[in-house]
Structures are given as structure tokens and as C-alpha cells.
Structure 1
Amino acid sequence: MELDNRTYRSKRRKSKKWRVWTLLSAILLGAAAVWFWDEYVPTGKHEDPSFDGMGKPIFYQGSMLDKPAQGQAESLKLPFDIVKELVDPTMIYEAASDSTIITTQDKVVRLRTSQLTGLMNEKPFNLKFPLEKIDGTLYLPMEPLKQLYRIELRESADTGAVIMAKEGDAIRWAGAASYPDKPDKTVAMRKEPSIKSPILADLKQGEEVMIWSEDAEWYRVQLKNGYLGYVKKGQLASERTETIPKDEQPPSFVPPKLAGGKINMTWEQVAGPKNPDTSKIPAMPGLNVVSPTWFHLDDAEGNLKNLADPAYVKWAHNQNYQVWALFDNGFEPKQTSEALSSYDKRMKMIKQLLSYAQLYSLQGINIDFENVNTKDKDNLVQFVREMVPLMHEQGLVVSMDVTPKSGSEMWSAFYDRKALIESLDYMMIMAYDEFWASSPTAGSVASLPWVEKNVVKLMQEDNIPADKLILGVPFYTRIWTEETVNGKKKVSSRAVYMDNPQKVIKEKNLTPVFLPEAGQNYVEYKDGDKLIKIWIEDEVSMKARMDLVKKYKLAGVASWRRGYENPAIWELIRTSLAQ
């Protein structure tokens, strides 16, 4: 009996263990099944895609922008800020006149809000749909803008979404994988890169999507109707790349070639109403452009003072010189600021210059704005942007004088050289007055290392192309006087013509010394208690400057000013530029 009880108890223990193991096995298998389901079995749950409440979203390169479009088809309008950011950063909105101003290589377009008439190169044209403000946002009609820029706006008829593409953009396309034995099988586009994420769309086999990014397992894609999602790698095939064509049209204006190839220009200073007696101007071999200082900003409203002389133009043309008349701002910062402040005032200046150019048969305009507040930097660029297309339309070359780069606000910092050169035909670097009239230290007007450093700086830092950069050279120097007054050294100077130092050298029986650190000849002598110093401008310094033009393949040379030079210098310049 006792043996039977032990056998019974043993069987019960074994049965209990078996039940426990069975239960544990079932739990483990269940857990494994759950794990397998969670890890490997995709969800079939669907969710309607949305644009997060955006009524008519705009997309660029797979990103939804922060403001919607308005209208549809030919009435489609996009927010000004988006067009400015993505299409043309130079586009401006002028609040004072409620105008949008667009400048391209050959066009200046002004569109006023709520008006159906715009101006293109100051000629009226009609719009089907105006600019308008909606909930405080300015919207631009896209039809006229698509004529100015190579952009594509792909508008979905189903969702209203707008997908933007610009020239040069590459769009990567792929089709949903094909399953010949399962023609009804679809490919899931999910909300997130996970098989457990809801399905936003079932892609038919071969249906194309745009691929915007990828990781190890997923593609981030976009449907043609704008909806974004993720497709697992291996479920897309038949990739292709679409590239939006670039506008390969040649420039609308190319400056004419001049006799001698390189530009050899000199400025003609006209200080008053009486122009120089051209019968007394000696021959200037090699010269091909003269720039008389004729036009000056006269007031804050944009009116110009005109000192032009038809007889001078006739003389210049008879010498085969082009005339690029100079226009300056009077070097008055306050009136300059006012004159640049609005489209109407800027255009007033431009129209006067166009009228004068036609009246006097000019070939170009040379802009010389100096002593300008840095706050007016953008308006100065805008003035040039608006000016150049209209000048080019009339066949005029547009150049501008700039100083070497420095931190000086009124002298240098107000020039946005990189932006200016995008519009200009040529830029003259006024590479002189390294040591200026009131400098506390005596020195060269333009030592050669200083000149070279500033030329290179413009090309490297501001991307000024060599074939647009003209080297400004001085036809003058300074005679410096150093003396001790009340125990302190006093420095003063006076500007003189090129020939003046040669007369001093002859009179004083001096021997010039070449200074390698300046690249110039130099003399000094005592006049009583005063020490006189002269860094000489002569054939040696001019030849070195011409070598810089050659070394960097610059567009040419511009000299300040005609009448200061030794006549023999012209042949040296001509010969050097011809090499």
C-alpha cells in the first residue's frame, strides 16, 4: 500500500511538472509569436494622408513650405517671401509705393499691388491677375514670373498641391516594383519609416514617385499629388533622373570690343561749365575710352547737374575714343541716401542719364559714388540693378568705380562689390591713395605690393572676374614734408603731376633710389629743418602696374587723370597692353 502511494505521488509530481512546462512553452511560444508579429508582420491599417491643415501647400525638394499658394492654373499665386527665397533673392518689395520690383539680366519689372498694369523696362504691360495681399501676405501672380524665370510649378488637380522645380534641379524618380504573378499587388507608402506605421497610399505597380532621401531600409518619397511618405527599399525599381533644363541663352548684351583689345581709359576732370580745350590735348596713343566727369547728383529728389559738351564728344569720336561719361553722387551722403531710397527717385536718375546718353551719342556710363552711408549699401546695388538693363537696351556699357576693400564705412564698406559685379560690365578699382592727403604718415600713393594685394582680394573674396576688372592707376604723386613743430613731428603733403618730381630731381641734383618694398623709385632731401619725401610715379612704376594687368589678365587700365601724366607714358601703356 505504501509503495502504491509513493508511485501515485511521483506520478502527480511528474504530471504537475508537465503541465508547468506545457504552460511555460505555451507562454514562450505566444511571446515569440507576438514578438514575430510585432517585428516582422506589417500592419495593414490605413490612414488618410493630409497636409497638416494647409489648404494649398507648396513643396520644394520634398519639403512643405510654411505658406500656401492661392488660385489655380493661370491664376496661381505664390507668397512673395517664398518666391524671393527660392527663385530670386534680389527681388524687393518697396513698402512706400506698395510695389514689387524684379530685375533680371535684361529686364526691370515693377508691379504695384492690386493693379493690372505693370511696367517692364518702363513700358506698360497688362496682367490678367494682380498682386494681392491675403491675410497680410503679399501674393505674386506666377504667369508673368514664369516668363522671367525658368521655374516649373506642377499643380495637382486632385489635391491642389504645388510642387516647384527650378532650372538645374535634379529629381530622382522610381516606380513601384512589379509582381507579374500578382498583378493586383500594391506597394505600401507609409506615414513613418516603419512597417507598423499606417499606410497612406497603396501604390500600383509601376506608379512613379519622387525620392527625396533614404536611409539603410527606407526611401522618403512624394507622390505627384504632393503627399509624402516612406516606401521600403526593394519595393521600388526603374529609377530615372529628371533634370530641369537650364536657360542657355547667350547674354543679351556684350560690351563691344575696343581697338587694342584691352580697355585703356582715362578720366577727364570737368570742374565747371567750361570743358577742356580739345585743340590743346596732345596725342594719347593707345587710348580708346575717355570718361569726362559730366553728370552729378544735384539734390535729394534725383535731379542731375549736367556739364556735358557736344564738342568734346565730337572730338573724342574723331579720335576713335568711346565716351563713357561719369556720373557721381556729389559725394553728399545725405542727399545720396534720399535719392536712392525709392524706385521713383532711382528711375528719375536713370531716365536722365538715358536721355543724356542719347542726346550726346555716348557709349557708356561710369558710376562714381563715394562717401556713402553703409545703410544705403542695398539701395545702391538696387540702383545699379535697375539701371543696367535699361542702359544695355540702349547699347550702353556700364562700369563703376570702387575703392580697395577696408573697414572704412564712408570710403569702402558701403560697396557690395560681389553683388554689384553681377550687373556691371566692368568694375574699376581705384588703386590709389594708400597714403592719402592728410595721412599722419608719409608714404606711397599706391605701392605695388599694396595694389596687387587689393586686386587679388577683389578677385578672391568678391569673385570679381578678371575680364571685368579694370586697374585704376594714378597719374599723380605726393610730395611729403616732415618737420618738428613744438616737439612733435608734423606731416603734410601736396599732390603733384607726374613731371613735378622730375623737375625737383633735376633742380636738386638728386639720385632716385629704387625701393623694392614699394616697387617704386624714391627720393628725399632736406629743406632747412624739413625732410622732403617723394615716392615717384614714372615709367618704372607704370610698367610694374601694366605687368599686374598682364599677370592677372585684367580687362585693362583706367587712369586718374588726363592732364597729370607725362605724355610719354601713353606709349608705355599702349605697348604693355598690347603684349
Structure 2
Amino acid sequence: MRKKIYFLMYVFIILMIPICVQAKEMKASNRVSINKIWTIKFSKQIDKSTVNDKNIYVIDSNKNRVDIDLEILNDGKWITVSPKYSYKSNETYTLFVSNRIKDINGNHMKDSTAMVFTTSDKTNDKIVLAWNYVYNKEKNKSFYDSKDDVVMNSSDYSGISVISPIWFKLKWRDGNVIGITEKMDETYLKIARMNGYEIWPCFQGMYKSSIANSLDDYADKMDKFFQNEDVENLVIDQLIAYIDKYNFKGINVDFEALGKKNRENYSQFVKKLTDKLRSRGVITSVDVNEPVLHSAYSECYDRAALADYADYIMFMAYDEHWVGDKNPGSVGSYPWVEKGINKILNLGVPNEKLILGVPFYMREFQEVEASPKVESVVVTKRIIGNVRTMLYSEPSQSSKNIKSCAYGDLFSVISFDGEWYKVMYNNETAYIKKEAVALVKGNESKKIAVGCHTKTMNDIKKILSDESKRPYIYYDKVSKQNVLVYYDYDSSRTSLLKHEIWLEDKESMKWRIDLANKYDLKGVAAWNIGYSSYELLQVLRNYNNN
């Protein structure tokens, strides 16, 4: 008689145990996402010919079969089970695994297995998404080459339910859109799905100086794309071909800096795309920023129309203070974030469609401080182009050099002629370039950023452990954030600069989550996985579980 093989099989998240699962019915799971991906793991390599919807299937409470997709992973030892279309909310389902499944030696499972699960109320089913910035195709590997990488850990551990890697972008040639370019990685996709993540790839259209000479030029080029129906349809068809091939359940669309002239164009593009995706059961989310007047980055969005067409609107509630900003501050303070939420809701975006963007990163500002008694300029740039910042005897860089300037040097102002400030130095007049300085009024105290770098919580731990930097933390009541301060010399070792970082720690992440709950938003979306830390993931985990 043929010997039956004992399979070690469990449905993700049950812990791996060194014995065979023989129970015919496994423990029920409740409040499961309507797009839940189950992972079944076996102790031996299975015969792929026995993996089909007769041997593995899902039925609803009325005994009706549900359309599912099966994928074999991990050298034939794992199978993922996902709904072809979303499960119904508040419905009970049963996942069956038949003992007709065999290993590669022809041995059957000992017992058939069933697991009952109930989906959550769709209106209360929160989305926790994290974008993953993927610079190029090869960069994908860096996100699954360590056991500590988010993708390598289970969705339940990270608290993230959806990952949105930037895998698709508009493809340009000679100033014209000609299709899309992809940066996919099938290994990344398989590992993520094995660990319970949904993948909603991000489709980007971004301004770059290599594409256009200016924001206005970029807006003109995008207008040309939107007006060319053949190219627009080509882009959409190419994107859908990838969605169909890899069975993506959702897509994130991130077009930025389109300019006001493309406001209606973009809305109609999103409508055309979502109409085609909805018939496939694919979710569409669209990224927007804070509503601001006279901004090419903001006025391109008709947020109410986009909410009518798309399933979700992602509010990128960060970069209140950004690289190049002269005013140091938080990437997203409490009052700024709450004000942005209210602006978007008041524009007609339903709260059940709005997802709050949260930062995993922060900005480190290098600062100079000035408190002059009379109107003065303070040096904020040591080098302009390849030329050191100098005081000159005349308003010309070819005139006599009077002084080589350092960060924070302060000079009282006599006059200004458009490019040059005439200033006092050692009781004599001198000239300094406008772009090298910041103007400070008399009897005004001002902090001015002279440099800015992106930091993560892992970077912060290193700074705090370096006693030579004299780090300390204070609490900013306005931003509702802890702020790290330390002192260090600039790269030339000539100026001791103050460094200030508004921390994105568990305290700030908690109030961001509280805001999402206060306004009953659909969920949160983090930028980005590469900046994540254990403590921030812990807050997301608590939000997702509750």
C-alpha cells in the first residue's frame, strides 16, 4: 500500500511548528481584509499539477464558489490564495485544501483541511499603505536582501497591508511621451505576496530637468500628451497589460507638477484609466498634496473630481518644510496636517475615500541665527557655483576681494541694487551677492537654514549616541513634536552650526494616526519603506490591529 506523506501545512499567520497538521478544520479568522492573501506552506515540494481550483478553493456562506487566483512559490512549497475580485464585506467564507494534493513523489496529504474566515466591514477596513521608492530595476534587490527588510517580514509584523513600489513611469523621447517604462522585480513581488502584502504598484509622471526646461515647459509637454488620444490610450493599455499579467489588485497614480492648465486634462485621464480598471476589479488611488494657490504642484488637481473617479485619494501630508527651505521646521506639523485634511474634505473629497500620508523621514536643518540691531544680511551660502562667497570692493566679482565669508557672518545693509547688497565692514563699504545672504530686519531674531539633509530614526539613534555633538531634545508645543538639537562644524571646519531636527518618532506618528481616526479617514500611507524603523512600524501595527 502506498505510504501517505504528512505535510506540514498552515495558513499564514499560524506559527511554524515541527509536527504535522492533521486537524480537518483550522482555527477561524475574523475581521479579514476583503483582499486578503492567504499563504499555505507545505513541508515538502508539491506536485504542481495537483494545484488547481478543484483541490484548493473558497466558498461563501451560501456554498457558492469564489473566483480565486493560486500562485506557487518558494520552489513549490508555498501556495498563495487571493480573490480574483474582492471578497464581500461582513461575509463568512471557507478555504478548503483537499488531500488530493500530492508531493513530487506522488504522496497525498493525510487529511483535507478547511479554515473558516470572516471579512471585515468594508467601511471600517482601514488601509495601511507604504510607498517604496525604487530608483531603478536593480535597486529592488536592496529591499529584500536582509532579514530586517520590511518586505522580508510578514504584513502582520510590519503593520503594513499594502506596498506601493514605484515600478511604472512615463517613458519620454525627444520631449514626447511614447509609452511607459517598468522597473518591476518578480522576486520582490513573490516575496511580498508570500508575506501577506498586497502590491499596488505606483505609476509616476514627474517633472525632471532632463525632460523639460521649466515647470511651464513640462506643463506644455504634458498637455501635448493628454491631447494625443492615441498615445494616451497606448500608455493606459500598456499599464493594464502589466496589471493583468501580474494580477495586481490595485494601482497608485502619482502625477505631479502638471500645472493649472492640465487640471481638467488630468482628471479626464484618471477617469479613463479608472473606468477600465474598475471593470477588472482593480482599485485606483491617486496622490494629491495640500491645496495651495499659484503652485504648479497643487493647482493641477481637481480633488473633488479625482475623488469621483478614483477609489481613494492619498493626501501627501508632508514636506511642509523641504530641502531648500530657508525656514527650519517640521516636514509636517500638527496644525499644518490638520489644516490640510480640512481643506481637502471641504473641497468635496469624502472622508471614507481619503488616506492620510505620513512621513517615515525627517529633515535635518543646519542653521545660522541672527539678531541684529539694524537691518543686516547674514551669510547663508559659503560657495556660489564654484566661487567662494566674498566681500568685494565693488559690485563685481572681478573687483578686489576684501573678505572670505563664513556661514553666519553678519553685515549691516546700506543699500540694494538688485543683485548686490552694499554693506558695512570694518567701517568701510563693501559688496556681497544677494544669493549668498538672507536679509534680517533690525531688532528681529531669525533662524535661517543653510543646509538640509534627510534623516531616519536609525540616523537619530547614532546622533544621540555621539556625546561630542552635545545632543539634546526639547518639545515643540506648536508642531507637537520632539526636536533634536546638536552642534557641529560645517564641511570646511570654519563655522560651528546648530543642527535641528523635528523628529518623526512614535509620538508624532501616534498623533498622525489620531488625526486619521478623528476625521474617520480610510487609512494612512507612509513615505517610504526605505526610511522605516521598528518603533514607527509598531505604531502602524497597533493601528492596523485595532
Give the TM-score taking structure 2 as reference length.
0.57
Cα gap change, 1:254 to 1:454, in 2 (>3 Å): farther
Which structure has the higher relative contact order (CA within 8 Å, separation 6+)?
Answer: 2
Q: Deviations over 1:409-455 (max 9, x none)?
A: 32111111011110110000000000110001111111111101101
Shift of 1:526: 2.9
Q: Secondary structure at the match of 2:168?
A: strand
State the match for 2:540 in structure 1.
573
How far does residue 341 in structure 1 lie from its aligned partner after superposition? 1.5
Structure 2 vs 1, CA of residues 302 and 376 (structure 1 numbering), >3 Å: closer, same or farther? Answer: farther
- Give distance in 2, aligned partners of 1:577 and 1:327: 25
Summarize the alignment of residues 326-405 of structure 1 with structure 2, pairs less than 5 Å apart.
326-332=202-208, 333=218, 334-405=220-291
Distance in 2, matches of 1:304 and 1:255, equals 31
Is the alpha carbon distance of 1:425 and 1:494 closer, same or farther for their aligned partners in structure 2, counting shifts above 3 Å? same
Partner of 1:267: 131
The corresponding residue for 2:519 is 552
Partner of 2:141: 276
Q: What residue is the counterpart of 1:145 in the other structure?
A: none
On the 8 A contact 1:337/1:373 being kept in 2, the answer is: no
Paired with 2:342 and 2:160, the residues of 1 have a C-alpha distance of 25
| Alpha-carbon contact 2:485-2:500 (below 8 Å) kept | yes
Distance in 2 between residues matched to 1:510 and 1:459, nearest whole Å: 40
- 1:252-286 deviation digits (Å, cap 9, x = unpaired): x9897688921011111110121134242243432
The yes-or-no answer on 1:495 pairing with 2:477 is no
2:185 maps to which residue? 309
Q: Contact 1:291 / 1:326 at 8 angstroms: preserved in 2?
A: yes
* Deviation at residue 542 of structure 1 after TM alignment: 0.5
Matches within 5 A, 1:181-220: none
Alignment correspondent of 2:314 = 428
C-alpha distance in 2 between matches for 1:433 and 1:269: 16
Name the CA shift for 1:578/1:550 in 2 (closer, same or farther; >3 Å).
farther
Residues 256, 544 of structure 1: alpha-carbon distance in 2 compared, 3 angstrom cutoff: farther
Query: Equivalents in 1 of 2:222, 2:461: separation in Å?
Result: 41
Classify 1:359/1:503 alpha carbon distance in 2 versus 1 (closer, same or farther; 3 Å): same
Q: Distance in 2 between matches of 1:475 and 1:535?
A: 12
In 2, Cα distance between the equivalents of 1:294 and 1:363? Answer: 15
Distance in 2 between the 1:563 and 1:409 partners?
A: 28
Check whether the contact 2:259–2:298 (CA below 8 A) recurs between aligned residues.
no
**Pair 1:285 & 2:158 matched:** yes
Separation of aligned partners in 2, 1:551 and 1:326: 28
Cα distance in 1, alignment partners of residues 457 and 207 from structure 2: 26
Instruction: Give the Cα–Cα distance (whole angstroms) in 2 for the partners of residues 322 and 367 of structure 1.
Output: 16
Separation in 2, partners of 1:531, 1:301: 45
The answer for the alignment partner of 1:25 in structure 2 is: none
What is the CA deviation profile of residues 285-340 of structure 1, one whole-angstrom value per residue up to 9, with x for unaligned ones?
Answer: 32110101011001224410111122222112111211111001132524422221
- What residue number does 2:353 align with? 468
TM-score for both structures, normalised by structure 1: 0.54
- Which residue in the other structure is 1:480 paired with? 365
Q: CA deviation at 1:523?
A: 2.3
**Alignment match, 1:539:** 506
Distance in 2 of aligned mates of 1:577 and 1:457: 26
- Is 1:298 the equivalent of 2:167? no
Opposite residue 532 of structure 1, the aligned amino acid is H
| RMSD over equivalenced CA pairs, Å | 2.1
- 1:513 equivalenced with 2:474 (yes/no): yes
Q: Which residue of structure 2 aligns with residue 561 of structure 1?
A: 528
1:428 partner SS: strand
Q: 1:288, 1:322 within 8 Å by CA — same for their partners in 2?
A: yes
Residues 546 and 577 of structure 1 are in contact (CA less than 8 Å); yes or no, is this contact kept in structure 2? no
Please say if residues 366 and 499 of structure 2, whose CA atoms lie closer than 8 Å, have aligned partners that are also in contact: yes
Q: Report the residue type matching 2:255 in the other structure.
A: F
> What secondary structure does 1:415 align onto?
coil
Q: Residues of 1 paired with 2:524 and 2:324: CA distance? A: 27
Runs of at least 5 residues in structure 2 that lack an aligned partner in the other structure: 1-84, 90-118, 209-217, 369-378, 380-406, 411-436, 439-447, 490-495
Partners of 1:298 and 1:317 lie apart in 2 by: 28
Q: Distance in 1 between matches of 2:455 and 2:206?
A: 24
Contact 1:264–1:289 (8 Å) recurs in 2: yes
For 2:365, give the aligned amino acid: W
Cα 1:422–1:265, aligned 2, differ >3 Å: closer, same or farther? same
Q: Give the 3-state SS of the residue equivalent to 1:391 in structure 2.
A: helix
Partner of 1:446: 332
Distance 1:419 1:254 in 2: 25
Partners of 2:88 and 2:254 in 1: how far apart?
22
Task: Give the match for residue 123 of structure 1.
Answer: none
Partner of 1:437: 323
Paired with 2:248 and 2:473, the residues of 1 have a C-alpha distance of 43
Asked if residue 456 in structure 1 is aligned to residue 342 in structure 2, the reply is yes
Aligned counterparts of 2:160 and 2:329: Cα–Cα separation in 1? 30
Partner Cα distance (1:350, 1:289) in 2: 22
Range that drifts further, 345-354 or 330-339: 330-339
d(CA) in 2 for partners of 1:468 and 1:560? 19
Q: Alpha carbons of 1:477 and 1:440: their partners in 2 closer, same or farther (altered >3 Å)?
A: same
% identical aligned pairs: 32
CA distance in 2, matches of 1:498, 1:478: 11
Match for residue 530 of structure 1? 497
> Where does the alignment leave 5 or more consecutive residues of structure 1 unmatched?
1-252
Distance 2:126 2:252 in 1: 17
1:33-112 aligned at under 5 Å gives the runs none
Segment drifting more, 481-490 vs 402-411: 481-490
Structure 1 residues 402-411 or 470-479, which shifts more?
402-411
Pick closer, same or farther for the CA change 1:465–1:256 going to 2, 3 Å: farther
CA distance in 2, matches of 1:296, 1:307: 8
Greater Cα radius of gyration, structure 1 or 2? 1
**SS of residue paired to 1:411:** coil
Q: How many residues align?
A: 326
Q: Distance in 1 between matches of 2:310 and 2:503?
A: 33
